[in-house]
Structure 1
């Protein structure tokens, strides 16, 4: 469900076991969530939800990253792109 103007953005990471890009993305998102209102969801690729998301979006690499249920990236998380996207949507903490 897409977020409304009052809800924080939701980033969903569909991760695979032993995936270093997946681990890196989850760490980067945890750090980012300390600076901006953000909900981070982690979904295993081997769960029913994970399989359904992979079937829908067909990522070339892991992790599959969705922003408010829309495809954002696959593979290494583009941190600067995500920061710019979020900066346009949510106020910074302490600003």
Structure 2
């Protein structure tokens, strides 16, 4: 079993793109193990994280602490990025045992 990918999800109230992103994360989470932490952009922690990550507006998504996207989340882009991460991890584990 692979360790879940850490997803930090910066949200705000009454945000249609946030609702869309939640649906995307739910669907992608069925195929890739994810650990999702939601942080409100209105709070101090959310504002600081958004500034550091360059998130201009909600929703903001960080993958393993690295800025990934903000605004409308592309399911295809997220799946592609997670598949590449999984393939790279598998390669490094295989090379480590060889």
TM-score, with normalisation over the residues of structure 1?
0.80
**Conserved? CA contact 2:7–2:63, under 8 Å:** yes
Post-superposition Cα deviations, 1:51-93, rounded to whole Å, max 9, x if no partner, equal 11112123233111100111000100021111011112237xx
Q: Secondary structure at 1:80's aligned position in 2?
A: helix
Q: Secondary structure at 1:89's aligned position in 2?
A: helix
**Conserved? CA contact 2:53–2:66, under 8 Å:** no
**TM-align CA RMSD:** 1.6
Aligned positions, number: 86
CA distance in 1, matches of 2:8, 2:84: 19
Q: Which of 17, 22, 32 is 2:18 aligned to?
A: 22
Q: Which residue of 1 aligns with 2:67?
A: 71
Q: Which residue of 1 aligns with 2:31?
A: 35
CA distance in 2, matches of 1:61, 1:14: 9
Structure 2 residue runs of 5 or longer lacking an equivalent are 88-98
CA distance in 2, matches of 1:90, 1:18: 33
Structure 1 residue runs of 5 or longer lacking an equivalent are 1-5
Give 1:34 shift.
1.5
Which structure shows the bigger proportion of residues in helix conformation? Answer: 2
Q: How does 1:1-95 map to 2 (within 5 A)?
A: 7-90=3-86
